[in-house]
Amino acid sequence: MTTESKEMYLSDQALGALMMSLQKSLLEQSDIVPTLKDFKFRLSNDGLMVMNPPLVKMKEDLGGSEQEMDK
């Protein structure tokens, strides 16, 4: 029995999913590990793809004025 290993790489989509997971974790001040453990991968011609990327919901900031946002 041979143990042949095949190198795999993350696609741009998978890297984006990883970065979105990090952003969500930082914004929510939550642990990133459960999100990463739940990733489902599929191998494509571009590399590994994440089939269930995280959703990041942003709340609109109503507190700032237009001038403050221009700075």
The answer to whether residue 70 scores a pLDDT higher than 50 is: no
pLDDT single digits (tens) 21-69: 999 999 899 999 999 999 999 999 999 999 999 987 777 766 655 555 4
At 2 the pLDDT is 66
User: What is the extent of the structural domain holding 13?
Assistant: 8-52
Is residue 25 in some structural domain?
yes
pTM (whole model) above 0.85: no
**Which residue, among 67, 49, 54, has the nearest Cα to 27 in the 3D structure?**
54
40 domain-assigned:
yes
Asked whether residue 27 is domain-assigned, the answer is yes
Distance of alpha carbon 19 from alpha carbon 58, whole angstroms: 15
Answer yes or no: is 48 within a domain: yes
